A and B are shown apart, each in its own frame.
Chain A
Amino acid sequence: MKRHCLIKYLAIIVLTFLFCFTSPPAATAVGLFGAPQTVSRDDGGLNTAIGYRYYEDVYNDAADIRFRQNEVYSQVAYGAKNTWEAYARIGVADLKIEDVFKDNETFFATLGAKGFYTLNDQFGIGAFVQGTYYLSDFNDTVSRNKKIAIDHLWDVNCGIGFQMTLACGTRLYAGPYVYYSEAEMSLSSRKATLGYKAGDFSLENKSLAGGFAGLDIPLTKGFRLNVEGQYADSFSAGAAISYSY
């Protein structure tokens, strides 16, 4: 019976992986989602993390615009009972569009929460929701009199994660998520630049769904390493090291 359950949950995880990495092009979201189960103490406690992620996404207006970002962030979270966690992040990110637009060091803030339900000793299922807002705009002068600004970039994501606990407390997780992101883009030139319209207009992510998978590995003395990949239009990946108080 137990073996049957194991096979069933393994099948779910494998199918999730297949869904994530073979689904049609979709947008990715900002920030690692992490394992569905909190790493905080059972009786409640803080955990903090520092993370990095390379992120690639396609936004769409009249034409596809490919965003590339490097994000570095610091996270503080509070969780309890191995079932729930609320977290906040603050970080900096750059933004590169094609080979024309580039801007550095814009701050972003993220708030999120996750819940987890334990199915048995090894398996569990969880859900999360998180939102990110960039606190200032990205801008760059793309030619002598032409300036592009990306302002009010934000996103919201929610998803479901399946988790399997491996040896030594390592957690393998994967799941699908849905996602929406929006930004305002303004061109200071009347002339068309990069094929975009002049003036102010809104950008949205091209697709709505993606998948993620990752590992959360215990290190030493309360530290854990989280590596995660997200796939939609392109592959994004990141890592975070957390410390549980």
Chain B
Amino acid sequence: MKNILASVIGVMFFVIAACPCNADPSNDALSSSQPPTTFKLVLSAKENPEKTTNPLDEDYHEDENLDEYANNEIKEERVDIADPLESVNRVTHQFNDKLYFWAVKPVAQGYKEVVPESARISVKNFFSNLGFPARFLSCLLQADLSGAATEARRFTINTVWGIGGLLDPSSGKELNLQEQNTDLGQTLGVWGIGQGFYIVWPVFGPSTPRDTVSIAGNYFLDPVAYLNPWSARMGVNVLDKVNAASLRIGDYEALKDAAVDPYVAFRDAYVQYRYKRVKARQAKWSSSPGPAETSVPANPESSKRGQ
């Protein structure tokens, strides 16, 4: 009974990995008046000369003039994602939201009060250093040998001279070895696999079938996953998540408050963020012509546009 209770409490803390972590507050929320199973993210209109189906565009005629101007100056691209599970996703989104406000945030705030910021940054560095295997493997699978070498050097230097990863000398001005922000989901994207449809996992938060591979892959590549007994593993994971949440209290709230429909806002933010990450990785890889990210196989509208 005690074990079950402990595991339930532990799992609750994982919600920190959910909504706030991948959100980009700079994104605009889309209107909730959109079609229920698809939303559209305007990134490039060059490949989409036909009129958009977004009702918002019909309302703001002056924006169309701006778009005409932008067509000459800025390359834009439309990225779609299907949302066939929207009704379920909205429920899990709500669940994650409550979990964050009722459990994670209070604990993170208490932790923040007790632990000074420099110590929390050191803990973050430590867990980031432990994420080396996933990033290293992702770089290798993307044929990004320089990225893999950078990761290997970072890991060595931070482990040896960074007191087991608590400090991050590699990111300093002199060494300038920046962390490769990549994962297995991005690797699949670089290799041309589309993101599929939008899904919100309880506790883990926004994802897609492609990015769900990251959740599974990172689990097996995370050294913490091999800790025994399970209570120690759970404790370390909770520390990681609470510490991470304590360093970004307010981000989630800011995006949520700015959104008309938070669910749509987070979906927008998540998809755009992931899309940009994959594009960035492809750009790094583009010396050899890498396959472009296909958009959404599950979305027939995007298939028509050939994305």
A→B interface (CB under 8 Å): 46, 48-50, 74, 76, 221-222, 241-243, 245
Contact = CB atoms under 8 A, between A and B. Distances in A.
Nearest to A49: B161
Nearest to B174: A221
A49 B162 CA distance: 9
Nearest 4 interchain pairs by C-beta: A243-B161, A221-B174, A48-B161, A222-B174
Interface string B159-201: 0111110010100101100000000000000000000000000
Contact of A74 (B160, B169, B175): B160
Contacts of B169: 48, 222, 243, 245
B174 A48 contact: no
B166 to A, nearest CB: 9
22 contacts: A46-B167, A48-B161, A48-B163, A48-B167, A48-B169, A50-B160, A50-B161, A74-B160, A74-B164, A76-B163, A221-B174, A222-B169, A222-B172, A222-B174, A222-B175, A241-B161, A242-B161, A243-B157, A243-B161, A243-B169, A245-B167, A245-B169
Nearest to B160: A50
Contacts of A242: 161
Q: Which of B160, B162, B167, B169 has the most CB of A within 10 A?
A: B169
A49 B172 CA distance: 16
A48 B158 CA distance: 10
A179 B162 CA distance: 31
Contacts of B172: 222, 245
Nearest to A243: B161
A74 B165 CA distance: 12
Contacts of A49: 161
Contacts of A46: 167
Contacts of B167: 46, 48, 245
Contacts of B162: 48
A55 B160 CA distance: 22
Contacts of A222: 169, 172, 174-175
Contacts of A243: 157, 161, 169
B135 to A, nearest CB: 22
A222 B164 CA distance: 18
A186 B160 CA distance: 36
Interface in B114-173: 157, 160-164, 167, 169, 172
A242 B172 CA distance: 15
Given A74-B160, A74-B163, A222-B174, 15 more contacts: A48-B162, A48-B163, A48-B169, A49-B161, A74-B164, A76-B163, A221-B174, A222-B169, A222-B172, A222-B175, A242-B161, A243-B157, A243-B161, A245-B169, A245-B172
B160 to A, nearest CB: 5
A76 B163 CA distance: 7
A49 B164 CA distance: 12
A222 B175 CA distance: 8
A222 B157 CA distance: 12
Nearest to A220: B174
Q: Which of B157, B161, B172, B174 has the most CB of A within 10 A?
A: B161
Contacts of B175: 221-222
A242 B169 CA distance: 12
A245 B160 CA distance: 14
A24 B174 CA distance: 46
A222 B169 CA distance: 10
